[in-house]
Amino acid sequence: MPSIYYDRNADIKTIKKKTIAIIGYGSQGHAHARNLHDSGIKVVVGLRKESAFWKRAQKDGLKVMTVSEAAKAADIIMILIPDDKQRAMYENDIAPHLKKGKAIAFGHGFNIHFGQVVPPSTVDVFMVAPKGPGHLVRRTYEQGAGVPCLMAIYQNASRNAKKIALAYAKGIGGTRAGVLETTFREETETDLFGEQAVLCGGVSELIRAGFDTLVEAGYSPDLAYFECLHELKLIVDLIYEGGIGNMRYSISTTAAYGDVTRGPRVIPQSTRDEMKKILGEIQDGSFAREFILENQANRPVFNARLKRDSEHQIEQVGEKLRKMMPFVGKKLK
């Protein structure tokens, strides 16, 4: 079992006299910066001069600098920009300012684990990764609660990296809910697998397959949308609140029987074997290499597949039906 740390295990005084640079001001960046600021920590935000977030961060009461300026001014540099942008920004704007005694931190282990960012041995390297989107990290903090976090130490040059990481996690509210200790390797590989095989890739394909099956059999696309996509949130909420058993307890007997007898036919051994293959590609670096090369080539496959999927019938049907349901949240842009 991993170690779990709470407020009593972390001392925010460890970072009270330090300056923390948050690189990026997107979903996670804005939450980390504002929570740390409200915890009494000196925060600067590092952005490109042309960034659309520059004025937003200033409006939120934060000091904004270029990435290079922020990296130079900070004792702790937290990188919260997309994985595919980190290597170039690190090499150009951050690495020149990584003097002995500083710390560099990440919200995801991809670039450290796969060797795309290689910090000098004289700095601490740690990760604090909230297990929730940025808006939730911010909202729960304001409510006096927090989102659970993962924490990992990659380099402990100062021999104080764990205390610094826990203090950082406390500053964003993570220790209110619990901070689980892990490794960069474990976080990276499990995170990528969950995204690809279950939470994003697996779910998206399962939804479309169910929708297509019903429509091809002559059923109404509107009803297919409700049965295979719209109601998914209701089921996920039940699982989120109390596990799979809670969901099965809450649904009808007919639905529960169909769950336990037909689910294994939808996800047979061949699917489980493919999941193992996907995990293997993550573990041996094949996926990382593919992703890095895809971005270097300006994403031809990625963009083509996003366009293809955006034109799927379920997207058009959903756009129409959601307009009839004002209680459904607005689509993120």
Contact present, 5 and 175 (Cβ < 8 Å): yes
Q: What angle do CA 274, 276, 279 make, to 5 degrees?
A: 110
Name which of 233, 35, 220, 65 is nearest 134 in CA terms.
Answer: 35
Q: How, if at all, do strands 124-130 and 63-66 pair?
A: unpaired
Reported as type and span, the H/E element at residue 252 is: none
* Backbone angles phi and psi of 52, in degrees to 5: -70, -15
Name which of 60, 25, 32 is nearest 46 in CA terms.
Answer: 25
Residue 148: CB atoms within 10 Å: 17
* Torsion from C-alpha of 279, 283, 289, 291, nearest 10 degrees: 40
**Could you give the residue numbers annotated as active site?**
108
- The C-alpha atoms of residue 63 and residue 230 are separated, in whole angstroms, by 42
